[in-house]
Structure 1
């Protein structure tokens, strides 16, 4: 996915059970994705956010 801050960076998240760290992805009845845990970019733009029901919720 592209970083929601607009920096243009592609974010790759591991979702396979064997990976560490890994993210869980679910979708609601409308097909909107939710990720757990939050996504925190350690370098570059340093974005930190949750993706819940297809919407970005920024961490403070």
Structure 2
């Protein structure tokens, strides 16, 4: 059990590997975070305007 702990970095020292063009779909951290921000920005804006953020029937089809 102590061997596993020795292999982990200390708390707060996690990092993501740099971009590798051979594997373009592996590190999606930046894209995922930007989508997260865009979603919440849209929710906040639509709420402030008094509109629904749910997709309309035309958009779903």
**What's the TM-score bracket when you normalise by the shorter of the two chains?**
under 0.3
The higher radius of gyration belongs to 2
Give me the TM-score of the superposition, normalised by structure 2: 0.20
- Give the structure with the larger helix fraction: 2
- Give the structure with the larger strand fraction: 1
Structure with more contact order per residue of length (Cα contacts < 8 Å, sep ≥ 6)? 1
Give me the TM-score of the superposition, normalised by structure 1: 0.20
